[in-house]
Amino acid sequence: MSNADVLKLIKDEDIAYVDIRFTDPRGKLQHVTVMSDQVDEDFLEEGFMFDGSSVAGWKSIEASDMKLMPDSESVYIDPFYAEKTLAVHCSIVEPDTGEPYERDPRGTAEKAEAYLKSSGIGDAAFFGPEAEFFLFDDVKYSVAPNKVGYEIDADGAAWNTDTDFEMGNLGHRPDYKGGYFPVNPSDDGQDIRSEMLTTMKMIGMKVDKHHHEVATTQHELGLIFDSLTKQADELQKYKYVIHNVALSYGRSATFMPKPIKGDNGSGMHVNMSIWKDNKPLFAGDKYADLSQEALYFIGGILKHAKTLNAFTNPSTNSYKRLIPGFEAPVLRAYSARNRSGCVRIPWTESPKAKRVEARFPDPAANPYLCFAALLMAGLDGIKNKIDPGPSSDKNLYDLPPEELQGIPTVCGSLREALESLADDHDFLLAGDVFTKDQIEGYLELKWEEVYEFEHTPHPIEYKMYYSC
């Protein structure tokens, strides 16, 4: 869609407002709403000035002027606002030079795509994320000097098998780790997921399926693959629609990776492929019908996995999911079809569908930074011919301890991930896709979260240590 098409759409659909949206370093969607009569060709070409000093991890107040540049191809009519509103995703540029702002996540994704083309390795990178989420009916938490704790509830959760409800307890609930794929009435999320998917399709998203996931009250909708920046935009829309449809049902959706103790957490498996000259670069005659380039790409992912964790698993909560015993891909190994390693090659009959799946990311990730970092690690593997070693076709969850000792793991904490990023980030700087200033700012932002987490007593510590 061109700028002229956007202006025509505003007129034809009698749009009252235009919502200009951007993503902050943590991955949260932000917005500013303007009257539609303020949006003309100059607005779309020259952008919108705003104060970036209040965005965590961005500019200080003495250099706070920034410019939002709308991407006309990203527009859609918001389905949740009372007034008819057109939403558009934006990248951030410096107002004096017009250059991309180096800490803008969306700009980083765009630079990663440009770097791929300039490298000669490929023309386009396609990403297909599978982001899981939980639905709750009641969420309460407290972080006070004298009270730290949380309480969540969902009528359909496994812990409510003996709860007294006003209309009676009908008893149809999947058990812990038993939510993968029962039909209704055990699956009570059919209608809400259908409405989420219908809403996504209505605003132009490419979607294909939905289902209950393994954990109690856990769900997933299917996004069809797209190019890197566009798919990051789509994932932001995905979260936005899920949050707001859930709200309309009186429910609360969360992409927090591990909100429930003792059950599976939410992952975001990321399927990736590179194409060159309209041909799939990853299809070949090597292991699992992969090309040598695809194996090197896997080698880069495995080599830099601990650094990638800072972007793919960017919360302290992420590492409560990345533990053995809950189908979590903690081992830095790869395999065809086997889901127990952190990289999998999904089975497919078509060379066009040949892809690599990173299984360790989670939906707390900023999608622009997550996808860009994964691509840069894979390209580093191709450029430097990083051998991923032999595949691991055994069930890694069942290996004896002596065999497990020989397989490296991903990080065990956000602290470890940030330390890895500080030590190993040169591959991210290639082509100025990421910059040192951006990485330093990101580290500073994330260290605040680590300190907040590490300095707060946990309720379990009272159970273990109060009477010591």
Q: How far is CA 142 from CA 74, 133, 447, in A?
A: 38, 22, 22
Reported as a pLDDT band with limits 50, 70 and 90, residue 393 is confident
CA distance linking residue 44 with residue 1, whole number of Å:
12
Q: Is 385 annotated as a binding residue?
A: no
CA distance linking residue 401 with residue 399, whole number of Å:
6
Q: Is 62 annotated as a binding residue?
A: no
**Tokens 């949206």 map to which residue?**
21
Q: Is 220 annotated as a binding residue?
A: yes
Q: Is 402 annotated as a binding residue?
A: no
Among left, alpha and beta (phi > 0; psi -120 to 50; other), residue 122 is beta
**Is the per-residue pLDDT at 93 higher than 60?**
yes
Q: Are 92 and 22 in contact (CB under 8 A)?
A: yes
- pLDDT at residue 406 in the model: 76
Q: Which residues are the active-site residues? A: 51, 130, 132, 213, 220, 269, 339, 357, 359
Q: Is 130 annotated as a binding residue?
A: yes
Q: Is 461 annotated as a binding residue?
A: no
CA distance linking residue 260 with residue 254, whole number of Å:
11
Q: What pTM did the predictor assign? A: 0.96
Q: Among residues 52, 53, 120, 131, which one has the least CA distance to residue 91?
A: 52
| pLDDT (average), residues 54-63 | 75
Q: Is 441 annotated as a binding residue?
A: no
**Is the per-residue pLDDT at 195 higher than 70?**
yes
Reported as a single tens digit per residue, the pLDDT across 131-167 is 999 999 999 999 999 999 999 999 999 999 999 999 9
Q: Is 265 annotated as a binding residue?
A: yes
Reported as a single tens digit per residue, the pLDDT across 327-376 is 678 899 999 977 778 999 999 989 999 999 999 999 999 999 999 999 99
Residues 6+ apart with CB under 8 A from 428: 307, 373, 376, 434, 439
Q: How far is CA 160 from CA 141, 168, 263, 405, in A?
A: 20, 12, 15, 40
Reported as a single tens digit per residue, the pLDDT across 214-228 is 999 999 999 999 999
**Is the per-residue pLDDT at 455 higher than 70?**
yes
Q: Is 213 annotated as a binding residue?
A: yes
**Tokens 């309209």 map to which residue?**
278
HSE (side-chain half, CA atoms, 13 Å) at 255: 26
**Average pLDDT score, the chain:** 94
| pLDDT (average), residues 278-292 | 96
Q: Is 219 annotated as a binding residue?
A: no
Domains assigned to the chain: 3-101 (3.10.20.70), 124-465 (3.30.590.10)
Q: Is 416 annotated as a binding residue?
A: no
SS3 per residue for the chain: CCHHHHHHHHHHCCCCEEEEEEECCCCCEEEEEEEHHHCCHHHHHHCEEEECCCCCCCCCHHHCEEEEEECHHHCEECCCCCCCEEEEEEEEECCCCCCECCCCHHHHHHHHHHHHHHHCCCCEEEEEEEEEEEEECEEEEEEECCEEEEEEECCCCHHHCCCCCCCCCCCCCCCCCCCCCCCCCCCCCHHHHHHHHHHHHHCCCCEEEEEECCCCCEEEEEECCEEHHHHHHHHHHHHHHHHHHHHHCCCEEECCCCCCCCCCCCCEEEEEEEEECCEECCECCCHHHECHHHHHHHHHHHHCHHHHHHHHCCCCCHHHHCCCCCCCCCEEEEEECCCCEEEEECCCCCHHHCCEEECCCCCCCCHHHHHHHHHHHHHHHHHCCCCCCCCCCCCHHHCCHHHHCCCCECCCCHHHHHHHHHHCCHHHHHHHCCCHHHHHHHHHHHHHHHHHHHCCCCHHHHHHHCCC
Q: Find the range with the poorest average confidence among 31-40, 93-102, 370-379, 426-435.
A: 93-102
CA distance linking residue 370 with residue 308, whole number of Å:
8
Q: Is 415 annotated as a binding residue?
A: no
Q: Is 45 annotated as a binding residue?
A: no
